[in-house]
Amino acid sequence: MEYVSNECLDGFFHNAKIILSNHPEVNQECSENQESVQGTTNLVRSVDDKEGSTRTNVVYLNTDCNLRCEYCYEKDSREGLEDQANCTEKQIDAFLNEIQQREKGRNSCIVIMGGEPLLKFDLLEYLIRRAMSMYKPEGWAIPVTTNGLMFLSNKLISRYQTLMDDVGKCRTVIHDIEISFDVSGQYRRKMPDGSDSRPYVERAIKKVDEINFPYRFSYTVHKGNHANIIQDLVYLLETYPKARRIAVSWAYQELDDEFGSGYAKQLKNKIRPYGNHLFKMYNRPICDCCCSVCRLCDKSSSVGNSYLSPTEGILYADKNTKNKFNQF
């Protein structure tokens, strides 16, 4: 099936016009799909590197999870919380040492993912404290991507607070939290009993707000929320003003399978002018939606990704990587 009509996009535009009804100039300019907000010439790079010299380093800390998301890349192989794979301290040491040598003289970023990595807080804490102990004056940025549910545990919050206090005293490590939250599409991120996880996640976000942990959002566009993107982004920006940014990702294959080949790309192109305006209105980045005006990062300096998985060890991004990760 090929995407040939604007019926699905019409739903997006209808909702966008309602949510931005107080800003008719935005609707007019964005409906014409113009890059109506010009980027600044004073660009800031997040990493001072020569082109082709850095990678995004990803640690898949574990494979078990306390949610059952419909579109999870591991859902077909996850049958429960037993006998799940975890990275070992030895693997973490080897990965950190490899990064330290490969990215000598420049700062490094390690993204911690899962599964749900906060289920293995001991390993997460080990990785961060190990980085803190290493000689790397250029520093480490170590965000963790989580569904947020573990912040409902006061015990975990207490341990996390101790860790964050120690990180705050360390000049070479920055750590923050990225909470996955799909707002109107959150119903597809199900609890183990099949119920909607949204009320639980929102309670957890409120607790993160109260203790002033640095955090941001990860928002996935899929068939359950594709027509409500602007509404959802505005909800996040206005309801959670402490969130530093929103990182938007796309379920490309699912969207194209559901609405026709090329739909995801067309929708992404239509979103960008709105993302530009929201960035100007709220002064917070909406990653992959306002890149032409934000410029707080420079993707062109990356040569790809490197990964640490509990089952495959260290991998570099190539044409076989996707197949390898589908075997987790």
pLDDT mean for each 10 residues of the chain (328 residues): 47 59 60 43 33 70 90 59 75 92 87 94 96 90 96 96 94 93 96 96 96 94 94 95 94 93 91 89 87 62 66 61 39
206: tokens are 């409120």
Q: How many helices (H) and strands (E) would you count in the chain? A: 11, 13
Domain ranges of the chain: 45-213+298-325
* C-alpha to C-alpha distance for 328 and 325, rounded to whole angstroms: 5
The H-or-E segment that residue 112 falls in is strand 108-113
Give ∠ CA 302-304-306 in degrees, rounded to 5.
120
pLDDT of 135: 85
pLDDT of 104: 85
Task: For domain 45-213+298-325, give its CATH number from 1.20.58, 3.30.530, 3.20.20, 3.40.190.
Answer: 3.20.20
pLDDT of 16: 57
pLDDT of 63: 87
pLDDT of 328: 30
* C-alpha to C-alpha distance for 161 and 163, rounded to whole angstroms: 5
pLDDT of 73: 63
Helices (H), the chain: 7-19, 24-31, 89-102, 121-133, 154-168, 198-211, 229-239, 252-259, 263-282, 291-294, 321-325
Cis peptide upstream of residue 262 (ω within 30 degrees of 0):
no
Whose structure tokens read 């007019």? 28
